[in-house]
Copies of this chain bind each other. A is one copy, B any other.
């Protein structure tokens, strides 16, 4: 890759690009027929699109590397995933609509139950409701006072999950988690991983101390644990880099976070997958790059539920005509990474990808799956190359040199 080359060639035009990301879509052979979930699924619309597409496989980061969803998405959007790396804290804070500044350090928190002996008895405080979480966050926000020129911002996410952001000068996010990751253990103190991060670590410990007092009258959620500390980072937007007016339809904080950090307009959270696809039509005229994110292929992969993952694929397949009916100049379908149900976790396996466009130079691939795509015309690329190829197919890159 040549840094800055694609950016220097990017130009605006009126074309539309739709990127459908089926999170964790890649699998490995399993089930009674020794087929991947994509091979086993009945998906006539995806297969029909594959016949008119150029297909291939993509490594999200590099061969053999299993990525988290954050870096995997940065790469899909044309941002170097290693350079762009930031903690989940910032991603999720951005994802719930918190505006993160360069003076901020963010962390995810769990409301938890702690015993009189100082050991964690429930890491999720009995999975309290989202309403409870909102009430607890208000209670903390009203009572915590750091009084050192540092502002504390506390926002609920969902159920037992919330965010804490510290805003002030000289804060740094290289801090170790306080969540001991198992019940029956004592929580850990926040520790700076370098001297620069010590100030923020001590402030977070002060937040935990005050929170413990403030929550002492709560029956279940009487403690908070922190993980995924992260300082903010400045990103150039898709508009600045690739001259794209980008729109994101994604329902989970992490993905909204990445999209928001690089300047995509975020669609309100929708109630299900179908309404995500329906959202596309509403805003289709106002943007030119659409990121449409489906979470459940990954969730069912993580659960190890082979047939449930197939069901998600089959459901998505029925919505594909909602995209093709809009007749975008470029349609790309892929995943951020593989989540094979056989592994019940993210994996390093390259993900299948197909790109349909007027002059895509389609290949002989007849079905959209990991094995068929090996024969595709894209070969095996890095997902960082996806954006330039989409821009090229959309006529959005000028010629390099004479």
Which residues of A are in contact with B by a Cβ distance under 8 Å?
Answer: 1-2, 5-6, 9, 28-29, 36, 57, 61-72, 81-82, 85, 87-88, 91, 228, 254, 340, 342-343, 345-349, 359-364, 370-371, 374-381, 385, 387-392, 397-402
Contact = CB atoms under 8 A, between A and B. Distances in A.
B347 A359 contact: yes
> Interface SS of chain A: helix, strand, loop or mixed?
loop
B29 A362 contact: yes
A371 B91 CA distance: 41
Contacts of A87: 402
Contact of A343 (B359, B370, B400): B359
A82 B379 contact: no
In this complex, the member of A1, A91, A379, A401 whose beta carbon has the largest number of chain B beta carbons within 10 angstroms is A401
Contact of A28 (B66, B361, B402): B361
A179 B102 CA distance: 46
In this complex, the member of A254, A371, A387 whose beta carbon has the largest number of chain B beta carbons within 10 angstroms is A371
Contact of A377 (B71, B371, B381, B399): B371
A65 B6 CA distance: 8
A82 to B, nearest CB: 5
Number of copies: 2
Contact of A85 (B381, B390, B401): B401
B371 A349 contact: no
Contacts of A9: 65
A66 B399 contact: yes
Contacts of A363: 371, 374
Nearest to A86: B401
A389 B347 CA distance: 11
A390 B63 CA distance: 10
A397 B348 contact: yes
Contacts of A401: 67-68, 70-72, 81, 85
